Amino acid sequence: MTLTLPFDTSYARLPAQMYSFVDPTPVSKPALIKLNSPLAQSLGLDATSLRTEDGVAFLAGNSSADGATPLAQAYAGHQFGQWNPQLGDGRAVLLGEIVAPNGHRFDVQLKGAGRTPYSRMGDGRAWLGPVLREYIVSEAMFALGVPTTRALAAVTTGDPVYRDAILPGAILTRVASSHIRVGTFQYFAARQDIEALRALTDHVVTRHYPHCNGLADLLRSVVARQAKLIAKWTSIGFIHGVMNTDNMAISGETIDYGPCAFLDEYDAGKVFSSIDRQGRYAYGNQPRIGVWNLAQFATALVPLADDQAAAVEEFTQIINEFADIYDSERRTIFAAKLGLNASSETSEALAEGLLRLMAQYGADFTLTFAALANGKIPPDFESSPEFSAWEREWRAHNPDLELMCRTNPQIIPRNHQIERVIQVGVKGDFKPFEALLDAVTSPFTPLTPDTAPFAAPPEPQQRVTQTFCGT
């Protein structure tokens, strides 16, 4: 039996060179790890039927749904600054788009669903580790109020995946406003395929920026969304880890949770990813890379302009607006993190002062703000006269602790906790995954005896110093 899902895949109506129709490759023994029932419900899908054998077969790519036209999208991208003209969905298949009861259109994609025409040398599969990581981190990001793709389900496949070791295969069902990337535009611009470039642009305007009129307007809106997104990352200590242009979504959602990680101790130069040897995607470098990526987006739009020389000038100016939007957003959020209603020179000086002390003491980023919100002295500053002086000055501005509690998470997905749930998940025990997921998806709730262990920073021997792309 096949499920009936209300797919309406507008991408499949775009010019044929933009994608390849391809079915997921069946797997041996699908088993459900987790279904995100609230998300299913918000999409208008029946969670109960997704949990049945037919539902799990569908989530593993073993059976199709009526009306589905599965496809892999073509895209290109700059990876660590190096141009790659041919990437594309090498291990992901878009099952289709669904218009949710709230009227918003969403992609439903299987990640790890087998080979596609874009797989190059890859096997088209994912192993369990990155699937659990993306599930946990993307759902935590959503709970933290950060625009992001979501996780609808995770299944194990029953098939081995060959990496450095033999590992259990898994598939994530990812939901996104769309999977259109900067690299999608680059792909057609590089081929001088104006037909596809124009169709893609019109599609993006209709789908994500219906109020935009013209290329400059579109670019300005995309720049603003990315600037605000990256300011949010900064405010919670999130490091994406692989901000290649193919991993930057035009919708303004965080996408592609590979070697991502959260700061434990505050350090603007922090890098976790094993493949980021130059620190290109370091925590403090993310706004600069955002600008770099958006400049590639602007470049890809130029061929569509009537007057290309004038467009280059205008687009350059728009890209330069990123810094002000980012700064203003960051200042506003950091003022709120300190319980101050509006940003001002004072709030900025207080934020800078605290960050300086945090860097000097190696203080935990999340726990410092969480403790302040809870009216406590942050653990790393217990006997610091410098901190006491800062605190006196800060308290003189009557911080609003309720605002702080709404703004500063008590808990984030810590790298060492994610590693731990992956290690036991590989052995078939998903209880720690569930417990961690529960804790990090209620980040602003006061800690309980059940959730408190997940909020703790790593012991020296638990410290994660490197994350791996995990493909």
Q: Please identify every residue annotated as catalytic.
A: 246
Least Å from the CB of residue 425 to ligand AMP: 19
Give, rounded to a whole angstrom, the gap between the first and last alpha carbons of the chain: 32
Q: Which stretch binds ligand AMP (CB under 6 A): 120-128, 295-303, 312-320, 372-380?
A: 120-128
Q: Which stretch binds Mg ion (CB under 5 A): 55-63, 251-259, 266-274, 347-355?
A: 251-259
Structure tokens at 399: 């911080």
Considering the rule CB under 6 A, would residue 190 count as an interface residue with ligand AMP?
no
How far is CA 32 from its chain centroid? 23
Of 30 and 130, the one with the shorter C-beta distance to Mg ion is: 130
Considering the rule CB under 6 A, would residue 81 count as an interface residue with ligand AMP?
no
Least Å from the CB of residue 246 to ligand AMP: 6
Least Å from the CB of residue 156 to ligand AMP: 16
Residues near Mg ion (CB under 5 A), total: 2
Considering the rule CB under 5 A, would residue 247 count as an interface residue with Mg ion?
yes
**CA–CA distance, 95 with 109 (Å, rounded to integer):** 5
Least Å from the CB of residue 173 to ligand AMP: 16
Q: CA-based angle 76:81:86, to the nearest 5? A: 20
Considering the rule CB under 6 A, would residue 123 count as an interface residue with ligand AMP?
yes
Q: Do residues 26 and 78 make contact, with C-beta atoms less than 8 angstroms apart? A: no
Considering the rule CB under 6 A, would residue 74 count as an interface residue with ligand AMP?
no
Structure tokens at 136: 């946990």
Considering the rule CB under 6 A, would residue 61 count as an interface residue with ligand AMP?
no
* Number of residue whose CB is nearest ligand AMP: 122
Least Å from the CB of residue 435 to ligand AMP: 27
Binders of ligand AMP among residues 257 to 276 (CB under 6 A) are 258
Least Å from the CB of residue 15 to ligand AMP: 20
124 binds, among ligand AMP, Mg ion, none (CB under 5 to 8 A by kind): ligand AMP
Q: CA-based angle 463:283:376, to the nearest 5? A: 65
Considering the rule CB under 5 A, would residue 329 count as an interface residue with Mg ion?
no
Task: Calculate the CA dihedral of residues 372, 374, 379, 381 and round it to 10 degrees.
Answer: 30
How far is CA 469 from its chain centroid? 14
Residue at token pair 């994660």: 464
Q: Which stretch binds Mg ion (CB under 5 A): 97-105, 245-253, 298-306, 322-330?
A: 245-253
Q: Which stretch binds ligand AMP (CB under 6 A): 3-11, 116-124, 309-317, 437-445?
A: 116-124
Considering the rule CB under 6 A, would residue 256 count as an interface residue with ligand AMP?
yes
Least Å from the CB of residue 291 to ligand AMP: 20
Structure tokens at 272: 């976790």
Considering the rule CB under 6 A, would residue 168 count as an interface residue with ligand AMP?
no
Kindly give the interhelix angle for 286-301 and 182-190, rounded to the nearest 10 degrees: 40
Task: Determine which residue in the list 24, 70, 90, 287 makes contact with ligand AMP, applying CB under 6 A.
Answer: 90
Task: Find, among 71, 57, 64, the residue nearest to 27 by Cα.
Answer: 57
Q: Do residues 263 and 235 make contact, with C-beta atoms less than 8 angstroms apart? A: no
**CA–CA distance, 9 with 21 (Å, rounded to integer):** 12
Residues near ligand AMP (CB under 6 A), total: 18
Task: Determine which residue in the list 3, 74, 98, 125 makes contact with ligand AMP, applying CB under 6 A.
Answer: 125
C-alpha distances (whole Å) from 379 to each of 52, 82, 210, 417 are 47, 43, 48, 20
Radius of gyration of the chain (CA): 22
Q: CA-based angle 161:118:116, to the nearest 5? A: 60
**CA–CA distance, 379 with 155 (Å, rounded to integer):** 39
Task: Determine which residue in the list 149, 247, 366, 441 makes contact with ligand AMP, applying CB under 6 A.
Answer: 247
174 binds, among ligand AMP, Mg ion, none (CB under 5 to 8 A by kind): none
Q: Where are the alpha helices (DSSP H) in 17-146?
A: 37-42, 47-51, 53-59, 128-143
C-alpha distances (whole Å) from 232 to each of 75, 166, 333, 338 are 27, 37, 8, 15
414 binds, among ligand AMP, Mg ion, none (CB under 5 to 8 A by kind): none
How far is CA 131 from its chain centroid? 13
Task: Determine which residue in the list 122, 214, 269, 375 makes contact with ligand AMP, applying CB under 6 A.
Answer: 122
Q: Is 225 helix (H, G, I), strand (E, B) or coil?
A: helix
* Number of residue whose CB is nearest Mg ion: 256
User: Which residues have a Cβ under 8 Å from the Cβ of 220 and sit 6 or more positions away?
Assistant: 318, 321
Least Å from the CB of residue 30 to ligand AMP: 18
469 binds, among ligand AMP, Mg ion, none (CB under 5 to 8 A by kind): ligand AMP
φ/ψ of 108, rounded to 5, equals -115, 115
42 binds, among Mg ion, ligand AMP, none (CB under 5 to 8 A by kind): none
Least Å from the CB of residue 74 to ligand AMP: 10
Of 256 and 364, the one with the shorter C-beta distance to Mg ion is: 256
Residue type, 444: F
Using CB under 5 A, list all residues that contact Mg ion: 247, 256
Using CB under 6 A, list all residues that contact ligand AMP: 87-91, 118-119, 122-125, 242, 246-247, 256, 258, 469, 471
